[in-house]
Amino acid sequence: MAKSTALRDEIKARFYPFALERGFVRGKSTSLFVPFRRMKGDCVQVFDIQWDKSHRPRFVINFGEAPAAGVTHWGKHIEATAIDPVHCTVCGRLGRLPGGTMGSWFQIRKPMVQVFRTLTWSYQPQEVTAQLIARFSDLETWWATRQTGPTMRAWTNNLG
């Protein structure tokens, strides 16, 4: 069993239905990215789960919003059904902790403060999924107001 299999299975079992209940449609996945999109008025709201490229049990949420008519990305028109966060002019990342390092990603490994507090090195996959579901309200707030939560970063893309 790969290191991240238990976490991936738990995310599929609990988080995917959670996202689908909120109107998101899951797009075509790769081993590293799982995209979700929903139409909301005249725009498409999008996020993806970006898994660690070394297949360690950790991931981050990339998010953005684009016009429902699609976008032009590096001279190529991208339809709303194919838009990913990288195609959005305003996008960002949601993690479990503030910051931009991989330590801020959702993951099985606990921060040292938690290790000392609990005397265990790792979270269970269910705990990581619960952290993600709890933080998802920050994404909903960002789409409604553009206010970032404590573990979010947002920026403007220069799409060329």
Query: What is the pTM (predicted TM-score) of this model?
Result: 0.93
* pLDDT tens per residue, range 58-99: 999 999 999 999 898 888 999 999 999 999 988 999 999 888
Mean of pLDDT values over 127-148: 96
HEC-encoded secondary structure of the chain:
CCCCHHHHHHHHHHHHHHHHHCCCEECCCCCCEEEEEEEECCEEEEEEEEECCCCCCEEEEEEEEEECCCEEECCEEECHHHCCHHHCCEEEEECCCCCCCHHHCEECECCHHHHHHHCCCECCHHHHHHHHHHHHHHHHHHHHHCCCCCCEEEEECCCC
